[in-house]
Amino acid sequence: MRLDRAALCFAMISAGLLSANAQKAPIQITADLSAAPRKLYHAEIDLPVTAGPLTLTTPEWIPGTHRRWAGVSDITGVVFTANGQPLTWRRDDVELFRFHVTVPAGVTTLHAHLDCIVTTRVTQKMAALEWEKLLLYPANTPVKEIPIQPSLIVPAGWGIGTALTPEGRGPYPVPPAGTVTHFAVTNVEQLEDSPVIAGQYFHEFALAPEISPKHYLDVVSDQPEDSNLRPAFLAEVSNLVREADKMYASHHYNVYHFLLTLSDVAGGLGLEHGQSSDNGVGEKDFSDSKRQVADADLLSHEFTHSWNGKYRRPVGLYQPDFATAEQGALLWVYEGMTQYLGNVLAARSGLKSQAQYRDLLAMSAASLDSEPGRDWRSTEDTAVSSSILRGGNPAWSNWRRGQDYYDEGELLWLDADTLIRKTTNNQKSLNDFEHIFLAKGGNTGPLIVTYTFAELVADLNEVMAYDWATFLHERVDKINPRADLAGIEQGGYKLVYRDKPSAGERTVAAHGGRRGSIDVWYSVGLRVDGQGVVGDVRWNGPADEARIAPGAKIIGVNGQAFSGDLLKAAIREAKGKTEPIHLIVQSDTYLSTAEIDYHEGERYPVLERVEGTPAYLDDITKPLAANPPIPAEGNGDD
Ligand SMILES: [Zn+2]
């Protein structure tokens, strides 16, 4: 029997949305991006008010980032006026995101002007707008109860991509120069969840036309040729829409827009929203099938969040006011299950091959399995600590652990999926769980329904009776010195190390995000770039025993000047011998020698098929939808 908490939340949230919008005049906000190439956004905001003290606020905790917004210091040029007269304001002494003003008698509309200095996701040819940069609304009110109508000004000739509903179709998405594009009234919660991309080199592509509701890929780029995406890539993204339709058997949006920026300047990003996702990759990262492998799961990951994270949200990660701190517990569901499903969907859609899926899974499994920080820190602690773990210095990060709930979650949900398949003789799978957990309430518009650990366990039990609470607690809350490799093994494979990298690892190394790094982590225990600079040293590994520290620079290998190839050759030559590898190392301004006593040769992770066992991993990555063939290209996979 399932607790009916979800149905209750569903009713309350819907009611709140309707009554608020019906009763109050909306805030009017016009975002002006015409100075975006000069790193400035402007906003003009009209707020319905009554006389007396008023506290306005900007969003503090941003959904999806799971942390406090650091960019509030970039909000500048703040001026409040009433009937054209400026009003004095004072920032709250404690809550620094808040502004206090006193509205004079007889005033019903308060005008606010503000600017935001924008240094990321903006170039000479494109801009991305996340609304926290410009938003201002009454504090201490649930954000879904504050109606707001957004409008937008963009540089002449720029196209607009967003899930916001334009008011009056007009010449959209490329408005005539000098015009303001108006959007339908929404609420502050939804507006914050509806970013905009705009750019000179803009394309909007309709995806999987037979699927309803409609899906679009909106893309802007710094170079004109890049936004003209390849037919094969577009066909794969259409397949992604079809595969998600099969996997989730529901939708929680009225329309979905994949927003994509292609730029080497704007910076990378993947941020989920209910009706869209904000995706940023390098200028050429989707320009051929090899280059796309490293980011093959970006769109499928962020798309999955529309169901897992946006519609279904751990109770501690939902804040009705953007001011309450987000709590990271259960992020191994929100992010970890999304990591698993996003990679599976990428393989089912053809964004990467089944072999590439396995090669990349081997890489993340090996990384977790050789991470010494798991001796002191549980996966749940990486989730609870999420807001302080993103980014940071790589030094000793293998001892600290990072946001491991992503990849730990991927292994955990693969374990659950293959356990269900094994126990039910492949009659049931995690797909059945998604049909319950993510489709509860049927098809809806954008909606947030929170859940607890108990509901997760109850829904898993509805698929297959099992002690799921213990299954999850053991993998998530306990200290586990080894990674959860059971899913790979139940899937018919095992993690092994070979003396040559897999084809997938070679593709990612040559074309993907780790270009220039030398993979000697599983041999001597170093993350080192092409110039010899050491990013991290594996705790208790051979290089650690040789006293090499993060930040050092290797300048000599066995008497010759450093190169990545030379270091790998030295590792190969030392195999089975007793002579150590001799390094000359620069630490700060000092030179020293280091001797790495390592003799097992090169080691690279790969999944090896265990013959005679069911290959559930191959079943999992097979398409479920009847996808049309992908247009052929001349640059096949490695
Ligand atoms: Zn995510």
Q: What pLDDT score does 75 carry?
A: 97
* pLDDT score of 8: 31
Instruction: Report how far ligand 1's centroid is from the alpha carbon of 542 (Å).
Output: 34
Burial of 565 (0-12, 13-18, 19+ CB in 10 A): exposed
Cα separation, 457 vs 102, whole angstroms: 50
Q: Comparing 221-225, 561-565, 626-630, which segment has the lowest mean pLDDT? A: 626-630
The backbone torsions φ and ψ at residue 359, rounded to the nearest 5 degrees and listed phi first, read -65, -40
Q: What tens digit of pLDDT does each residue of 481-500 get?
A: 999 999 999 999 999 999 99
CA 336–ligand 1 middle distance (angstroms): 8
Q: Is the pLDDT of residue 22 over 60?
A: no
C-alpha 376 to ligand 1 mean position (Å): 25
Residue 81: is its pLDDT beyond 90? yes
Distance 350 CA to ligand 1 centre (A): 20
| Cα(405) to centroid(ligand 1), Å | 11
Q: How far apart are CA 38 and CA 289, in angstroms?
A: 34
Mean pLDDT computed over 463-468:
98
Q: How many whole angstroms from 448 Cα to the centroid of ligand 1? A: 16
**Matching residue, tokens 């962020």:** 302
Which has more confidence, 521 or 19?
521
User: How much distance in Å is there from the Cα of 245 to the middle of ligand 1?
Assistant: 19
Per-residue pLDDT, 24: 81
Ligand 1 center to residue 550 CA distance, Å? 29
Sequence-ordered list of residues with C-beta below 8 angstroms from that of 492, at least 6 positions apart, any chain: 609, 610, 613, 614, 615, 616, 617, 618
Distance, in Å, from the CA atom of 551 to the CA atom of 557, rounded to the nearest integer, reads 17
Residue 171 CB partners (closer than 8 Å, separation 6+):
none
In sequence order, what are the residues at sequence separation of 6 or more whose Cβ sits closer than 8 angstroms to the Cβ of residue 504?
Answer: 293, 355, 356, 358, 359, 360, 362, 363, 638
pLDDT at position 635: 54
CA 338 to centroid of ligand 1, rounded, Å: 6
Q: What is the mean pLDDT of residues 188-195?
A: 98
User: Which distant-in-sequence residues (6+ apart) come within 8 Å of 474 by Cβ?
Assistant: 480
**C-alpha 249 to ligand 1 mean position (Å):** 20
**Which pLDDT score is estimated for 511?**
83
Does residue 399 or residue 174 have the better pLDDT?
399
pLDDT at 238 over 50: yes
Which amino acid is residue 544, in one-letter code? D
Reported pTM? 0.94
Whether 578 shows a pLDDT value over 50: the answer reads: yes
* Cβ atoms within 10 Å of 603's Cβ, excluding its own: 19
Distance 96 CA to ligand 1 centre (A): 28
Is the pLDDT reported for residue 221 higher than 60? yes
Q: How far apart are CA 345 and CA 349, in angstroms?
A: 6
Cα dihedral sign, 492-497-498-500: positive
In angstroms, the CA 245 to CA 239 distance is: 10
**Residues with Cβ < 8 Å from 140, sequence gap 6 or more?**
55, 321
**Per residue in 500-519, pLDDT tens?**
999 999 999 888 765 568 89
Token representation of residue 288? 């051929």
pLDDT reported for residue 178: 85
- Structure confidence at residue 147 (pLDDT): 98
Q: How far apart are CA 254 and CA 165, in angstroms?
A: 10
Q: In degrees rounded to 5, what are phi and psi of residue 275?
A: -110, 5
Q: How far is the CA of 309 from the centre of ligand 1 (A)?
A: 8
331 C-alpha to ligand 1 centroid (Å): 9
Helix (H) or strand (E) holding 607: strand 604-609
Rg from Cα positions in the chain:
26
Q: Half-sphere exposure of residue 350, counting CA atoms within 13 Å on the CB side?
A: 21
Tell me: the pLDDT tens digits for 371-408? 999 999 999 999 999 999 987 789 999 999 999 999 99
Span of 312-326, 327-341, 543-557, 621-635 with lowest mean pLDDT: 621-635
Question: pLDDT for 118-151, tens place per residue?
Answer: 999 999 999 999 999 999 999 999 999 999 999 9
Three state DSSP letters for 95-151: CCCEEEEEECCCCCEEEEEEEEECCCCECCCEEEECHHHCCCEECCCCHHHCEEEEE
Angle at 531 between CA 527 and CA 533, to 5 degrees: 45
Say yes or no to pLDDT of 460 above 80. yes
Angle subtended at Cα 200 by Cα 196 and Cα 205, rounded to the nearest 5 degrees: 65
- Give the per-residue pLDDT at 554: 98
Query: 300 C-alpha vs ligand 1 centroid, how far in Å?
Result: 10
- Residue 336 vs residues 188, 304, 340, 434, 518: alpha-carbon distances, Å: 28, 11, 6, 14, 27
43's tokens: 């906003």
Q: Is the peptide bond before 173 cis (omega within 30 degrees of 0)?
A: yes
* pLDDT tens, residue by residue, 31-67: 999 999 999 999 999 999 999 999 999 999 999 999 9
Q: What is the mean pLDDT of residues 22-28?
A: 82
Does the pLDDT of residue 23 top 80, yes or no? no
Q: How confident is the model at residue 3 (pLDDT cuts 50, 70, 90)?
A: very low
Judged against a pLDDT cut of 60, whether residue 12 lies above it is answered with: no
Q: How far is CA 426 from CA 361, 465, 475, 491, in A?
A: 21, 15, 23, 11
Residue 10 in this model has a pLDDT that exceeds 50: no
Q: What is the mean pLDDT of residues 568-580?
A: 98
Query: What spacing in Å lies between the alpha carbon of 415 and ligand 1's midpoint?
Result: 20
Tell how far the Cα of 293 is from the centroid of ligand 1, in angstroms.
18
Pairing of strands 196-199, 553-557: unpaired
Q: Would the pLDDT of 305 be above 70?
A: yes
17, pLDDT greater than 60: no
pLDDT higher than 70, residue 169: no
Give the whole-number percent of the chain exceeding pLDDT 90.
89
